[in-house]
Structure 1
Amino acid sequence: MNVTIKEVAKYAGVSPSTVSRVISDSPRISEETKIVVREAMETLGYHPNAIARSLVSKSTYTVGIVMPQSTERAFLNPFFPQALSGVSAAAHEQGYCILLSTGVNEKEQLESIENIVMGGRVDGVIIMYSSVDNEALDTLKKLRVPAVVIGKPLKPQGVLYVDNDNVEASFKVTEELIKNGHEKIAFLSGSFKFVVSLDRLDGYMNALKKYNIPFKKEYILELSDYIKEGAYEVTKELLERKDRPTALVVTDDVMAFGAMDAIKRKGLKIPEDIEIMSFNNVPTAELTSPSLTSVDIDAFNLGYEASKLIIEKIKGEAAKDRVIVPTKIIYRESSK
């Protein structure tokens, strides 16, 4: 038999309305009373009804999640499960749930965002990417819904976001390759419609400039998606050139796996013939042969901090507008 609020109130020696206010974490109730009521709830095994809780607090206790593409396709890249684990962990700590928006293309995604927001199903939204033309963010601004972006927006003023310093991280990776004696360094990236790709390109170019290495446009390779097969094909073509590179900066480990397959199929050795350094440090990076040197961007913490920040914003407690998560290079066999 379910325990009722009245039973909790009687056990704690307070009124039912006080129990309701404790459930909604009202600042009008003292911490001492909250402790007494929560202990009574735990003793009696009382669990607040989510709908009733929402009616009392006028909050859904739910955060919406916007992916860069269809959810099924996004999960093929290990970054998103890792980041979502962080989002979920922080949300759970605060008593919040998460709701994934759906849609196989941008139009359907925007419709999904409008449906969950206008339907009163979420209190705020986390956008799991930052694109040059971020229509999802624009839509949320028009709907006056709190939003946090994972990734630095192209125009960050007035936008809450969580990110790494991708310009600096890419600079360090490219600098490492230059110090290892390379001047022919190619840059293999995901779509430049994402700000993270542009930031990492800036870091790469900054390093070339610092060490007076000529920039070669033909060494810049862009893929529309972060997929292994696409990276294999463009790397295969790159290796056919007379002036082939001796090192690769790759902006995503999944693409790096494809590049490594192409290099090995060509009969070249890693890192002796071509040295590779990548980004994201996905769990399988250490399992490849040779194992992949990669920048650990701490995807879990990116999600965790984004979740904390959006909940703080929902509660009116956000004291900052951005969080920068540190990175570090994890050295393995693909680099010297």
Structure 2
Amino acid sequence: MAVTIKDVAKKAGVSPSTVSRVLSNHPRISAETSRKVREIMEELGYHPNIMAKNLVSRTTNSICILLPKSAEELFSNFFFMELIRGIVTQANRQGFDVLISSGANEKDEVEGVSRLLNGHRVDGVILLYSRIDDPVVDFLHKNNHKFVLIGRSEHYPDILSVDTDNVQASYDATKHLISLGHERIGFVSGPPELVVSKDRLKGYMQALIDSGLESKPEWIVEGEFLQESGYRAISFFMNLPDRPTAIVLIDDVVSFGVLRGLHELNYKVPEDLCLVSFNNIPLSEMSTPPLSSVDIGIYNMGYTASQLLIQAIQNTGEAKTELGRFIIPHRLVVRESSIFSVPKGS
């Protein structure tokens, strides 16, 4: 005969409703009670009927991660993998499953998350990026769905979001190069529709203005978060008659393309060009030379986003989770790519 929730309750010396609350990770259940009940469930071989429980509680104990459109960008960039690792780790600890959704375009993304939420297959969504005009955020916000944005929303500043101060981080990276004596500093940006591209460009520009330095339009190049973007950008930069002596790059993966291009052109870092990048992924320390990079706490960002979303889901009908922007601290890690003063011949 199958073990029931009443069998678990009797063995554990608690009520069936307490066992039910343990299964749903109710915040009012103590860690000791939860541990005891789960040990009894394992001892008796009890497996809850998840579908029946979901029908009663109107929750799924599942969340959705909405991936960026470009699969190439996703699977070649450690940033997204580390974000997902943080999200999944926290979700699993809370007893939540994680579903993945993506779309070829914005319309597909909206339809995808709509099916999952309105079909009661997930309780909330985490968006891994923030666009300046985002129909997915519009849909989630207007329909009062639970969601957390990785990044910053320009239209809805009070929604739940997790970010780093990208303006200040880029300002700090640029100021570091200025402190070495550089006056001609370039910037390799990301897609212009992303808020992170806008914010990091703003920080770069503000640092130049505060230091009384100019920025020429040809010293700013837009691209994707891909090696090829850096590879193409450096070919352009090094052929300028008045080329930069240092560059701030929006992402470590982009920097790897820059390093490859410089090697092929027989230029050396930092002797001929100094570089500072973002995200401080593990490979940045192992590149040749090791990259100076701004550490934005990627894993912590994903972990926090997952934690906030689950809190918002579990607090439905009780005290509301405080909305707002949660900032993860950043730090500049200086390595060999930016330890020289103004390169030779400048």
State the one-letter code of the partner of 2:328.
Answer: V
Q: Any idea what the Cα deviations from partners look like across 1:272-306, whole Å, max 9, x if unmatched?
A: 11000000111211121111111111110110011
* Counterpart for residue 132 of structure 2: 132
- 1:333 is aligned to 2:333: no
- 1:90 is aligned to 2:87: no
* Counterpart for residue 274 of structure 1: 273
Residue 77 of structure 1: how far off its partner (Å): 1.0
State the one-letter code of the partner of 2:338.
Answer: S
CA distance in 2, matches of 1:118, 1:22: 26
CA distance in 1, matches of 2:29, 2:334: 52
Residues 329 and 98 of structure 1: CA distance in aligned 2, closer, same or farther (over 3 Å): same
The 5 Å alignment of 1:1-336 reads: 3-14=3-14, 16-25=16-25, 37-71=37-71, 73-223=73-223, 225-316=224-315, 317-336=320-339
Q: Any idea what the Cα deviations from partners look like across 1:15-74, whole Å, max 9, x if unmatched?
A: 545533443356887888666544432432423232233223221111111122145641
Residues 70 and 220 of structure 1: CA distance in aligned 2, closer, same or farther (over 3 Å): closer
CA distance in 1, matches of 2:25, 2:295: 37
CA distance in 1, matches of 2:287, 2:36: 54
CA distance in 2, matches of 1:157, 1:31: 35
Residues 174 and 249, structure 1, Cα contact 8 Å, conserved in 2: yes
Q: Any idea what the Cα deviations from partners look like across 1:87-115, whole Å, max 9, x if unmatched?
A: 01111121111111122222222221111
CA distance in 1, matches of 2:10, 2:307: 35
CA distance in 1, matches of 2:121, 2:143: 13
So what's the TM-score if we normalise by structure 2?
Answer: 0.90
RMSD, matched Cα: 2.2
SS at match of 2:65: strand
Residue 152 of structure 1: how far off its partner (Å): 1.2
Residues 31 and 101 of structure 1: CA distance in aligned 2, closer, same or farther (over 3 Å): closer
CA distance in 2, matches of 1:29, 1:308: 17
Residues 171 and 49 of structure 1: CA distance in aligned 2, closer, same or farther (over 3 Å): same
Alignment length (residue pairs): 335
State the one-letter code of the partner of 1:265.
Answer: E
Residues 60 and 120, structure 1, Cα contact 8 Å, conserved in 2: yes
Residues 23 and 53, structure 1, Cα contact 8 Å, conserved in 2: no
SS at match of 1:334: helix
Residues 8 and 216 of structure 1: CA distance in aligned 2, closer, same or farther (over 3 Å): same
CA distance in 2, matches of 1:101, 1:126: 10
Residues 185 and 215, structure 2, Cα contact 8 Å, conserved in 1: no
SS at match of 2:234: helix
Q: Any idea what the Cα deviations from partners look like across 1:258-284, whole Å, max 9, x if unmatched?
A: 111222222211101100000011121
Residues 33 and 293 of structure 1: CA distance in aligned 2, closer, same or farther (over 3 Å): closer
Residues 70 and 102, structure 1, Cα contact 8 Å, conserved in 2: no
Residues 31 and 131 of structure 1: CA distance in aligned 2, closer, same or farther (over 3 Å): closer
Residues 119 and 274 of structure 1: CA distance in aligned 2, closer, same or farther (over 3 Å): same
Structure 2: which 5+ runs fail to align? Answer: 340-346
SS at match of 2:186: strand
Residues 65 and 125, structure 1, Cα contact 8 Å, conserved in 2: yes
Structure 1: which 5+ runs fail to align? Answer: none
Q: Any idea what the Cα deviations from partners look like across 1:174-213, whole Å, max 9, x if unmatched?
A: 0010110111100001112111111111110111011100
Residues 70 and 105, structure 1, Cα contact 8 Å, conserved in 2: no
Residues 157 and 324, structure 2, Cα contact 8 Å, conserved in 1: no
SS at match of 2:221: strand
CA distance in 2, matches of 1:323, 1:195: 16
CA distance in 2, matches of 1:291, 1:164: 23
Question: Which segment drifts farther, 146-155 or 1-10?
Answer: 1-10
* Counterpart for residue 344 of structure 2: none
